[in-house]
Structure 1
Amino acid sequence: MTTPLRLLCFPYAGAGGSLFARWQGELADRGCPVEVVPVRLPGREGRAREPRFTELAPLVRALEADLTELLDEPHLMYGHSMGALVGYALTLRRQAGGAVLPRALLLAAHRAPHLPAPHIAPIDAPDAELAAALARLGGLPPLLLNHPEWLRALLPIIRDDLRVCADAASLHPQPVRVPLHLFAGEEDILVRVPEVLAWRRYAGLGCELRTVPGGHFFPRTHEGALLDEVACVVKREVTPRGVYGAA
């Protein structure tokens, strides 16, 4: 029996696998023969009791160990913001080790790794300041600003994830031998379209940019438009006969 092509999905800072809860059905409706696999990160949702990571390299090592069986089978990776950085770093690690690579990387809403990390707010900023900055970007429902008990549960996760993002400077970025499909929000004031396009420096097998309506968190606000574009990429990775292309 043919192994299904899987789409491993990495969320943005503070989010969990539930961000991609609708993707399986929505992509199926668009005729995509893919199995969506939301990647669950430690310290949130069903893994809330596990310690969170604050550095990129240890997180990537742990994810590779957790996902070994999936990573050795045909797959794509989609990563949004922090998730794009994680997906790229994981691919870079596996390339260095001679392991199976994804058919393609779908990288959204993150600057190329040679550029400075975008500034949201100081990581150690007071809760109110950090929450207000996230709300301005659309990453935090304004309703939460009136519920400090919810913020006390959420903001430590976001702070640790922002530390992971800040650790991008520890990477030694280089081209990866997979196609890069880049996604940028047309109204994203945190990560501009040219900053996303700068990923083409690391494309060993081609690169293309797609813009999507909305700001930095367009998977939440314009999910349908994003999935239309993701579906185009996924369909391209399957031959007309339904046989997956060579790695």
Structure 2
Amino acid sequence: MMMSGQPKIEERRWLKRFGRREDVAGIRLLCFHHAGGNAAMYRQWPQLMPAGIEPIAVQLPGRTDRFREPAYDRMEPLLDDLVEVIKPLLDRPFACYGISMGARLAWGLAHTLRERAMPQPRQLFLAANAAPSTDIGGGNEWEGLKGGLEGYLRTMGGTPEEVLAEPELLSALLPTLRADLYVLGTHEFRPASPLDIPIHAFAGTEDASATPERMSGWRTETSVRFDLDLLPSGHFFDAASERQVVAAIARDLGQVITPHG
């Protein structure tokens, strides 16, 4: 029997708090990882963020502690289940940050919440994922690359060399990555109207996939404020660029980062 005050098992699987601060934070920040990634990429964000913001990383099935759960390969059922998971969080203002696949997931979540007349995020922060208006046909771009999915993984960067060099680790990663990329490649949602919440986008100047030009297309997905920051990075941000992203999020949400976080 679950004791009162403990998070539900479902919530523990999906939502990772790497530094609990719900009693002091005025706004929650839902953080979505990239394709093939996991929530651990946000492990340091509670230390980087001011106390008024509580980062909550979303862990999708098919990886780390959810390795035995099948990964989603379509966006719609993923959004349906995600809405149910975050319902208890909607009692407080929140925003969303997503990088690569996570950016498209955050955008889809905002539209789903709007369609269901549920609370929407205060703002979307979207990184390293080209705007929907710039999509080139359907399908998955990796299918035409030499080396297929593994070639795509090496081309995009961001995967530790020890994983790429170890066949067993690589073979364990590829099915989940493939499912994640199908989530993106089969999602052809075109909303009838843009969102009425601000969008702040982040583009790496050396990103050959989500170029600054393609990232600028996100301005058509909002009827209000749009900002685009260019970072001296590739598709995956280095530590310095990530700190710039965190600082921009804090400023937009009305928080100030002090030397002690």
Q: TM-score range by the shorter chain?
A: 0.7 to 0.9
Question: 1:201-233 CA distances to partner (integer Å, 9 max, x unpaired)?
Answer: 011221000011211111xxx233222233233
Alignment counterpart, residue 169 of structure 1, candidates 161, 177, 188:
188
Amino acid at match of 1:231: A
- Distance in 2, matches of 1:65 and 1:36, equals 19
Q: Which residue is equivalent to 2:248?
A: 232
Q: Which residue is equivalent to 1:80?
A: 99
Amino acid at match of 1:115: T
- Distance in 2, matches of 1:234 and 1:117, equals 33
1:207 aligns with 2:236: no
More off after superposition, 110-119 vs 94-103: 110-119
Q: Which residue is equivalent to 1:245?
A: none
Structure 1 residue 101, shift from structure 2 partner: 0.8
Structure 1 residue 42, shift from structure 2 partner: 1.4
Alignment check: 8 A CA contact 2:207 2:233 kept: yes
Question: 1:166-214 CA distances to partner (integer Å, 9 max, x unpaired)?
Answer: 1221443631121000000110011111101101001122100001121
Structure 1 residue 164, shift from structure 2 partner: 0.2
Alignment counterpart, residue 46 of structure 2, candidates 7, 15, 24:
24
Q: Which residue is equivalent to 1:243?
A: none
Q: Which residue is equivalent to 2:32?
A: 10
Alignment check: 8 A CA contact 2:157 2:235 kept: yes
Alignment counterpart, residue 37 of structure 1, candidates 43, 56, 63:
56
- The normalised TM-score by structure 2 is 0.81
Q: Which residue is equivalent to 2:163?
A: 144
Unaligned runs of 5+ in 1: 241-247
Alignment check: 8 A CA contact 2:25 2:52 kept: no
May I ask how many residue pairs the two structures share in their alignment? 232
1:65 aligns with 2:84: yes
- Distance in 2, matches of 1:25 and 1:67, equals 23
RMSD of Structure 2 on Structure 1 (CA): 2.3
Alignment check: 8 A CA contact 1:10 1:17 kept: yes
SS in 2 for 1:198: helix
1:91 aligns with 2:107: no
Structure 1 residue 3, shift from structure 2 partner: 5.8
Amino acid at match of 2:132: P
Structure 1 residue 120, shift from structure 2 partner: 4.3
Task: Spell out the pairing of 1:125-204 with structure 2 (5 A cutoff).
Answer: 128-172=147-191, 174-204=193-223
Are the structure 2 counterparts of residues 173 and 223 from structure 1 closer, same or farther at C-alpha, using a change threshold of 3 Å?
Answer: farther
- Distance in 2, matches of 1:138 and 1:239, equals 32
Alignment counterpart, residue 121 of structure 1, candidates 142, 164, 182:
142
Q: After the TM superposition, which parts of structure 1 deviate over 3 Å for at least 4 consecutive aligned residues? A: 117-120, 170-174
Q: Which residue is equivalent to 1:244?
A: none
Q: Which residue is equivalent to 2:121?
A: 102
More off after superposition, 78-87 vs 94-103: 94-103
Q: Which residue is equivalent to 1:54?
A: 73
Structure 1 residue 54, shift from structure 2 partner: 0.6
- The normalised TM-score by structure 1 is 0.86
1:112 aligns with 2:131: yes
Unaligned runs of 5+ in 2: 1-22, 257-261
Alignment check: 8 A CA contact 2:24 2:52 kept: no
Alignment check: 8 A CA contact 1:113 1:168 kept: no
Structure 1 residue 163, shift from structure 2 partner: 0.1
Work out the percentage of aligned pairs sharing the same amino acid. 32
Are the structure 2 counterparts of residues 173 and 51 from structure 1 closer, same or farther at C-alpha, using a change threshold of 3 Å?
Answer: farther
Amino acid at match of 1:44: R
- Distance in 1, matches of 2:148 and 2:247, equals 38
